[in-house]
Structure 1
Amino acid sequence: MLARRDRTNERTSLTDPSANLQNQLIEKRFLVGRQIGKGSFGDVYEAYDNSNGKRVAIKFEDRQSSHSQLKNEYRVYRIINGGIGIPKMICDGSTDDYDYLVMELLGPSLEKLFNHCRRKFSLKTVLMLGEKMIRRVEYMHQMCHLHRDLKPDNFVIDSENGPEIYLIDFGLARRFCHVDENMKVEHVKRMKLQSFTGTARYASISAQQQYTTSRKDDLESLGYILIYFLKTRLPWQHVPKVGSNGMTPKQRKERILEIKMSTNPTELCTGLPHEFQQFISYCRKLDFDETPSYGYLRRLLGGQMERNLYVKDWMYDWRVMDANEKKNKKKPH
C-alpha cells in the first residue's frame, strides 16, 4: 500500500515531489519507476512487472478527485479492450490515497514524434497516419463510445517503434447511444450543456458551442489534427495563452471558437490537397445522429496516396529519420 499522507493538510497534487510514487510496489507485483506523463486528473508512471520482467504503465488518480476520470476510463476499457490499436488493460485497483490503472507500456505520442521530426510531417506520413487514426475512431464508435478529446498527445506508437498506431486516454469518453427495453438502439439527444469538454485547439465547432457531442465531432477533431500535422499551426493557435494580457480561460475559448467558425474549409486547407477540404466539409455537414462513412474518409486519403504513387509501407517520417541516423553512425569516418 502507498503511504497515507497527512489528511489534516490540504491534499498534495500527484505532481508534487512529495507525492512521488517511485519505488512503491503495487499489487505486490509492479515496482513503480519514473514518471512518464501527467495530465489534469492524474499521472502516469513506468513500472516493472516482477511476474514476467516486462515494463508496464500505471496511471494514478487521487481518490479525493471530485470528478473521477480514471473510473470512467476503466469502465470504457472493459468495453473496448481487445480492439486493434487499443492498449491492453492489465488490472486496476486502489490504495489509501489513489486509484490506479495498469496497462501495457507504449511508445511516444504523435505530438512528441512531430517535435522529433522538426514539427513537420510529410504528406505521405499524414495520409498513412490518417487511415490508421480513422480506424481507431471507427472502432470506438462501433463500441457505442465517443472519445471526446482527440489530439496528437492521445495517439501513440507501439513500444517497438513499429507501424501500429494506438488510441489512448479514455477518461472523457462517453456512450452516444443506448439500448432500450425493446432492444432498440437510441442515439443521445442534442442539447446545450453547462460546460465544454475537450481540448479547444482540436475540438469541433459544436463541442466548443457546448452542445452534446456525437460521432461527427470526433471526426472533425481528427481532421484538424491532420491539417495541424501538415501546416504546423492551425489558424486559431495565435490566440494568446491564459494570463497573457489578462486573457481568461473563457475569453480564450470564445476567441478560438470565433476564429474556427469564421474560417471555412477552403481557407483552412489552403495549400493542401483538396481531399482535406472535403474531409472537414463532410464532417461539419453530417447530421448530429448520422452514421459517418468512415470508408469515404479513408478513400479520400487513399486516393491522394495513389495519385502521388506513394507506397503504403508504414515507413513514417520518424522511422525514416531513425533509420538514416543508424546508417550514418555505421559509416566509417
Structure 2
Amino acid sequence: KREPKKMRNPQIKHEHIIYDVLAGAAGIPQCHWYGQHDDFDCIVIDLLGPNVNQLKEFTTKLPMEVVIDFGCQMVTMMEHIHNRGLVYRDIKPDNFLFSADYFMPEPDMVETTDEHGMSAIKYRYPTCQEIFKKWQVVSPKLYLVDFGLTTWWRNPETKQPYPETKKDYRNKAGTARYASLHVHRGKPHARRDDIESIGYLLLDMIFGTLPWTGIQARNSRAGWDRMRQIKEDTFMSDICAGLPKGILEFIEYARKIKFLEEPNYELLRQFLKGSIEGAYSDLVVSPFGGHADKKWLKERNRKPSYQDQGVFQMDDLVQAVNDIKPNKRNSYHRRTSKDLGKPEKSRRRKKQVGWNSHKHDNEPWAPAIDWSVPTEKPEEAQWEKLDTWGNKSENWADTVNKPWD
C-alpha cells in the first residue's frame, strides 16, 4: 500500500504505528516494512485474499451459523484493539479479509430455454457452504485491515481515558451505513460505537441490505442526517423480527453502553452463540404483530429508473479521509459588501438551450443585411447578331455545308 508524500491527510505513517501497537494479536496482519520510495510513503503487510463484502455479494445467502461465527471473531478483534487503548472507527465488510489461500470461484454457466423456446445462458452462483468446501475449511479466519481512522480513546502515556466532550463534531468519521447513533449525533468515537457498528454489519450480512441502504441526498451532510433520522425512527425489534433474540440483544446492549464504559465482550459473544442453540435462540416478534413484512427487503434489488446528477450516494461513504485537494475554482464564494447589487448566479438555474440562447432574450435580432433597402438594379443584357461561327481561317466548321445561308 502506498500514498503520495504530499497527500492532504496522510495515513500510511499512522497505520504503521497502529500495526506496531497491535502486533501479535489474532486477526491483525503483520507489518513487514514501512518507508519512502519514489515520492511515496509505502507500507508492506501480509498478503490477504477476498473480503467479507465480496463473499456477501457473490453468494446467494450467508447462513446464520456463518454470520454468528464472523460476529464472534469481530468482537474478539475489537476487544484486543480496545484493550490497547484504541478505537477502530471504520467497521465495514470491506475491511475484514480472508487468507490469501482463498479465492472466489467462478459461477457455473447453465444452458436453459426461455419462455419462447430459445436457448439462454444463466449463471449459477455457489452457496456459502460450497465455497467453504472448496476452501477446505469449516470456519475461515478473518483479518482486519485499514487502520487509517483508528485513534486513541485513552492517553497512551498516562493510560487515562479522554473525557467526553460536550462539543458536537460536524465532520464525522467512518462509513455512514454502519455508523452508530452517537456518531450520527456528533459525539466522539468510543468503544461502544465499534460494537454497535458490528451489530449493523451482522444485519447486513443476514439480510443483504439495511433499511437505510441506498439513501440519496444532495450532499454528504444531508445524507448523514437522513440516515440518522431513519435509524432513530426505526424500531430495532421490527427490523430483527424473525431473527434470533440474541441479535436484537446485541444491538440494544451496544446502544446502552456509556461513553467511558467498557463493553462486556464475553456477554456479547454469548448473545451471538446463544442465537443458534441456547437462551437467545427464540425468534423476535415485531411490536406491530407477528413477523413484520419487511418492504425494504423487497426494494433491495430494485434499480432506480434514473439518477439525478446532483444526487449524492451515501453507500460506503467515508468522511474525513478526503485525499483530493479542494479545487479553489469550484469552492463556494462568500458574498461580501462588494457584491451588493450584483445578481447572484443560481447553480440550480437550468440553462436555456437553443439557437443563440446566450443572448437572444436580452438583445433583439439584428441581421447584418438590411433587406428593407432595395439593391441596385442589374444592367440589362443586350444581344447582338453573331456574324460568324468560329474562325474561318482555322476552324473546321468553315467546311461544313450551311443550308440556312
The two structures have a TM-score, normalised by structure 1, of: 0.69
Of structures 1 and 2, the one scoring higher in RCO (CA 8 A, sep 6+) is 2
Q: Count residues in correspondence.
A: 243
Gaps of at least 5 residues in structure 2 are 103-136, 282-405
Q: Report what 1:186 is aligned to.
A: 161
- When structure 1 is superposed on structure 2, of 252-261 and 264-273 the one drifting more is 264-273
Shift of 1:185: 2.3
Identical-pair percentage: 33
Asked if the contact 2:85/2:156 (under 8 Å) is kept, the reply is no
User: Match for 1:175 among 111, 133, 152?
Assistant: 152
Asked if the contact 1:205/1:257 (under 8 Å) is kept, the reply is yes
Which runs of structure 2 are paired with 1:140-179 in the superposition (5 Å)?
Answer: 140-161=81-102, 163-178=140-155
Q: Secondary structure at the match of 1:306?
A: coil
2:239 & 2:169 partners in 1: Cα distance? 27
Q: Report what 2:249 is aligned to.
A: 278
Q: Report what 1:301 is aligned to.
A: 272
User: Match for 1:288 among 259, 271, 279?
Assistant: 259
Asked if the contact 1:196/1:209 (under 8 Å) is kept, the reply is no
Q: Secondary structure at the match of 1:172?
A: coil
User: Match for 2:177 among 201, 212, 229?
Assistant: 201
Q: Report what 2:299 is aligned to.
A: none
Q: Report what 1:37 is aligned to.
A: none
The two structures have a TM-score, normalised by structure 2, of: 0.57
Shift of 1:189: 2.4
Shift of 1:131: 0.8
Between Structure 1 and Structure 2, the one with more strand by share is: 1
- When structure 1 is superposed on structure 2, of 258-267 and 78-87 the one drifting more is 258-267
Shift of 1:63: 1.2
Gaps of at least 5 residues in structure 1 are 1-58, 311-333
| Paired AA for residue 162 in structure 2 | H
Shift of 1:179: 5.3
Q: Secondary structure at the match of 1:99?
A: strand
1:138 & 1:268 partners in 2: Cα distance? 27
Q: Secondary structure at the match of 1:61?
A: strand
2:214 & 2:268 partners in 1: Cα distance? 29
Check 1:131–1:102 CA distance in 2 against 1; reply closer, same or farther (3 A cut): same
Q: Secondary structure at the match of 1:178?
A: coil
| Paired AA for residue 237 in structure 2 | T
Matched, 1:130 2:106: no
Matched, 1:253 2:221: no
- Deviation sequence 1:209-234 (CA, Å, 0-9, x none): 22101000000000000011111111
Q: Report what 1:98 is aligned to.
A: 40
| Paired AA for residue 41 in structure 2 | D
1:221 & 1:89 partners in 2: Cα distance? 26
Shift of 1:307: 4.0
User: Match for 2:31 among 74, 78, 89?
Assistant: 89
Asked if the contact 1:80/1:140 (under 8 Å) is kept, the reply is yes
